[in-house]
Amino acid sequence: MDSYLEVVIFVAAGFLFVPVTMLVGKLLRPHRPYAEKLVTYECGEPSHGSAQIRYHARYYLFGLLFLVFDIETVFLYPWAVMVRHLGPIGLIEMVVFIAVLVVGLVYAWCKGVLEWV
Amino acid sequence: MSIVSSLNALVGSLPGFWSPLVSALIKVLLVLAFVFGNEIMLIWLERKVCGRFQRRKGPMYVGRPEGWLQSIPDVVKLLAKEDIIPARADRWLFVLAPMVIMVPAVALFVVIPFGRGWVPRDLNIGILYLVALGSFTILSLFMAGWGSGNKWSTLGAMRAVAMLLGYEVPLALSLVGVAMVAGSLSLVDIVHAQERAWFVLLQPIGFLVFLVAAAAELNRTPFDLAEAEQELVAGYQVEYSGMRWAMFFVAEYASLMAISAIAATCFFGGWLGPFASGPWWFLAKLYFFIFLFMWVRWTFPRIRIDHMMELGWKFLLPVALLNIVLTGIGLAIWG
């Protein structure tokens, strides 16, 4: 665990950087809010309706495809490190694995899932 | 090197528990000083580069020659601006988003080797760590966009997520080839593996895929669809102002440095040079890539979202997979 101490410290430094800067800024900046100033910006028009709008179902399809290929990368990394030691059999196995996923990609492509219109 | 070794000796003499903690704190301070010191210059450099590309002069007055101190009055101005949180915003998300975006921007530098032995911590999962941490930026962008309670910023956030789906997989896959040739995920090992030839020569396809996907990860033109000033006013950051807005800006430039550093380390041999290897080579390559990304930004127009998705899914992804297979075959024959 000792080797991850730096990671913890760096993450904490990044996270605390903003509040510390905002605290310094508090000494310099004015604070005079009023209702018109806090209104949502919509190019000068009065805003109506909620901003949490509905969005298209294709996000879901792309999300599913992304999940599959992102997990594939997680499998590829340990294999990539060991590929020299695994020999030709290891290479063939991974090519088969990639080919199976490519078949899935081609199917999605043919079905028009990859069209973003 | 003598400074580093005497610092090491000093820290090593501290009692048990404190020594790693103090050394980590010194490292984080050094890295922060490096990143923010360079960033002040980068913001000025971007404005100069932009100006020259558009046949203007850019900032000229604060600091002579060439207005090189311009960023400092800008920071003071931003610090003195009122902090506005819109009434419709989700307060928690709105305040947390800039804090979250700074985390990957700073923590990416943990595994970057600045020179021989000059690395905050050489993790054996280096590349995996970079890819995992790099995708955290999107979490922050979505928090900012959704939490602002503004239609423009919601659209910007949705676009940012759509883009991530397109470029993240090719980005991760392009670095698999590097890991295969080097036989390690640690960035120090990767640099050592490039002593005979830089990986840009062994992995030209992987390098090109990485370059395009990294430009998309940076959210800069031609891939700044999430900001898109002309269509979404400023996307996820519409409602941010003053120092809170500046944090997105600071994080963007820190990421620009981090991505350029990854490119220099994984494909251009890090601190290794044809002669007199050392941190100066790393710095020169870092600035080469930073200039390259600025050049791209001020040269190309923004691409459309459907073209972006097509580029990611129909071109970069198959090419990146092909690169892995080719690298495997190459290793089997010559490795």
ipTM of the complex: 0.85
Q: Does one domain contain both B211 and B293?
A: yes
Q: Does one domain contain both B55 and B144?
A: no
- How far apart CA B171 and CA B210 sit, in angstroms, is 5
Across the interface, which of A22, A35, A116 has its CB nearest the CB of B306? A116
Question: CATH number of the domain that A55 lies in?
Answer: 1.20.58
Across the interface, which of B129, B153, B179 has its CB nearest the CB of A81? B179
Distance set, CA B162 to CA A40, B42, B96, B167, B259 (Å): 25, 29, 22, 9, 21
- How far apart CA B256 and CA B45 sit, in angstroms, is 13
Across the interface, which of A25, A77, A102 has its CB nearest the CB of B321? A102
The reported pLDDT for the residue numbered B19 is: 77
Q: Which residue of B has its CA nearest to A58?
A: B162
Domain that holds residue B276: 85-334
Q: Does one domain contain both B36 and B92?
A: no
Q: Does one domain contain both B27 and B102?
A: no
Q: What is the mean pLDDT of residues A93-107?
A: 89
The reported pLDDT for the residue numbered B291 is: 92
The reported pLDDT for the residue numbered B66 is: 81
**Do B335 and A41 make contact, defined as CB atoms within 8 angstroms?**
no
Q: Does one domain contain both B313 and B259?
A: yes
> What percentage of chain A's residues is helix, strand, coil (to nearest 5)?
65, 0, 35
The reported pLDDT for the residue numbered B306 is: 84
pLDDT tens figures, B50-107: 888 888 888 888 877 888 888 888 888 888 888 888 888 888 888 899 888 888 888 8
Judging contacts by C-beta atoms under 8 Å, the chain B residues touching residue A17 are 32, 99, 102, 106, 247
Burial B233-270 (b: 16+ CB within 10 A, else e): bbbbbbbbbbbbbbbbebbbbbbbbbbbbbbbbbbbbb
Q: Does one domain contain both B91 and B72?
A: no
Across the interface, which of B80, B99, B306 has its CB nearest the CB of A19? B99
Structurally, chain A folds into a number of domains equal to 1
DSSP label at A64? H
Measuring CA to CA, which residue among B129, B94, B115, B163 is closest to residue B277?
B115
DSSP label at A4? G
Q: Does one domain contain both B39 and B97?
A: no
**Do B328 and A42 make contact, defined as CB atoms within 8 angstroms?**
no
**Do A31 and B83 make contact, defined as CB atoms within 8 angstroms?**
yes
The reported pLDDT for the residue numbered B31 is: 85
pTM of the model: 0.88
DSSP label at A2? G
**Do B79 and A70 make contact, defined as CB atoms within 8 angstroms?**
no
Residue count of chain B, please give it: 335
pLDDT tens figures, A73-97: 888 898 988 888 888 888 888 889 9
Distance from CA of B258 to the nearest CA of A (A): 14
Structurally, chain B folds into a number of domains equal to 2
Judging contacts by C-beta atoms under 8 Å, the chain A residues touching residue B177 are 80
Q: Say if A116 falls within a structural domain.
A: no
Q: Does one domain contain both B237 and B329?
A: yes
Across the interface, which of B82, B85, B165 has its CB nearest the CB of A66? B165
Distance from CA of B214 to the nearest CA of A (A): 16
DSSP label at A37? T
Q: Which of A2, A6, A86, A113 to probe by mutation at the B interface, max B CB count within 10 Å?
A: A6
pLDDT tens figures, A29-68: 888 888 878 888 877 777 777 777 777 888 888 888 888 8
The last residue of one of the domains, among B50, B80, B110, is: B80
- For residue A94, give both structure tokens: 């991974």
The last residue of one of the domains, among B21, B46, B80, is: B80
Query: Between A and B, how many CB-CB pairs are < 8 A?
Result: 212
The last residue of one of the domains, among B17, B46, B80, is: B80
Domain that holds residue A86: 2-111
Q: Does one domain contain both B263 and B221?
A: yes
Q: Does one domain contain both B216 and B69?
A: no
Mark the ranges of chain B whose per-residue pLDDT is less than 70. 1-5, 7-8, 10-16, 335
Q: Does one domain contain both B137 and B159?
A: yes
Q: Is A29 on the interface with B (CB under 8 A)?
A: yes
Distance from CA of A91 to the nearest CA of B (A): 6
The reported pLDDT for the residue numbered B8 is: 66
The reported pLDDT for the residue numbered A3 is: 75
Distance from CA of A25 to the nearest CA of B (A): 5
Q: Say if A12 falls within a structural domain.
A: yes
The reported pLDDT for the residue numbered A6 is: 82
Q: Does one domain contain both B286 and B234?
A: yes
